[in-house]
Amino acid sequence: MRDERRKALDSPVALRGRRETRVQRHAPLAGAGVLDTVGNTPLVELRRFSPKPGVRLFAKLEGTNPTGSLKDRIALKMIQEAEAQGVLTPDKIILEPTSGNTGIALALVGSLKGYRVEVVMPRNVSPERVQLLQAFDVQVHFSDWRLGTNGSIVKAQEMVADNTMYYMPFQYGNAANPLAHYEGTGREVLEQLPEVDVFVAGLGTGGTLMGTGRRLKEHHSAVKVVAAAPQPDDAIFGLRSLEEGFVPPVLDLSLLDARIMVSSEEAFRMTKELLHQEGVFAGVSSGAVLACALRFAQRLERANIVCLLADGGWKYLSTGLWTKSYADLQAEVEGKVWW
């Protein structure tokens, strides 16, 4: 039955209609504010990356969110839930450990809702992230870069323990994180591509994979959820490696069908290819997700694969990755945080 539905949907007329639908976004109503534009991101087909006729790749472009990343979804949801529960009040200061994107998203939400925001970040994040946070008048506390984002988490927890004025959403353990993707990202993917077979996203906090994956599996239990992760010994921080010893509380490994390791060199190369072949200007983790999807696609003869591209490329321009070879980049970017 599934094959019959797929044949009908793969007819020239159906494909034309589906392609036109997938690149559309729901236009916000006149008078809507910036926060009303969070989500409803486009899904586009990456036709030039298809490894075989029966396998089609699609990209969910989260870089079109207001601050340029999917973290706008969870920042808004976490703050809304905290307000509803009464744990976030006007006198509180929002404090969050972050490598950049979540902090920037919280800065936007906090600014529009009237909250002061502070963040803890590894000192080796890209300069664009610090500049964006400072533009929002966010106070940045730096943690030891050698400890990565795990060090930021520990420092933020110590700050919260010492000061009752802080409220920490804590994206790694906040149920609103996967809930934002269950209610938003997963629903959107099904509206844009009901016949999805594989969903691939980067392994960060785990919220995207858990929330979206659960929604897709409820729609069809055969959907595969695949995580792109960095190699444990990779010198350049990319996505979260579970081998570092910290497993985010929101992450349920039983929901994953595969976890594929991607090197930083491969992630950088595919990030460049995304721009050159498809005109998609995305961040480094997106290159890792595409590399992971292509590797998983080799096992399949027919499938619709959705790749979640977490952010745009604007926060990575200082790397020069689009104009330099990886050999030239390696010394400059080694030890940097790219997620």
Strand partners, 262: 230
CA 118 → CA 36, 161, 168, distances in Å?
A: 24, 15, 10
DSSP type of residue 98 = -
Question: For this structure, is 113 an active site residue?
Answer: no
**Active-site entry in 69, 143, 241, 285:** 285
Catalytic residue among 60, 71, 77, 315: 71
Report whether 95 contacts 167 (CB < 8 A).
Answer: yes
263: Cβ–Cβ under 8 A, 6 or more apart, which residues? 230, 231, 234
End-to-end CA distance of the chain: give it in Å, rounded.
41
Q: Is 217 among the catalytic positions?
A: no
Check if the beta carbon of residue 60 is closer than 8 Å to that of residue 31: no
**Do the bridges between strand 166-167 and strand 258-262 make them parallel or antiparallel, or are there none, so unpaired?**
unpaired
- Tell me how far apart the 2 most distant CA atoms of the chain are, in Å: 63
| Full DSSP string of 229-272 | EE-TT-SSB-S--GGGS---TT--GGG-SEEEEE-HHHHHHHHH
- From 283, 262, 261, 265, select the one nearest 274 (Cα to Cα): 283
Strands 55-61 and 43-45: antiparallel
Rounded CA-CA distance 196/212 in Å is 12
Q: DSSP string spanning 108-166?
A: HHHHHHT-EEEEEEETTB-HHHHHHHHHTT-EEEEE-GGGHHHHHHHHHHHHHHH-TTE
Cα 149 to the chain's mean position, in Å? 16
Catalytic amino acids?
Answer: 71, 285
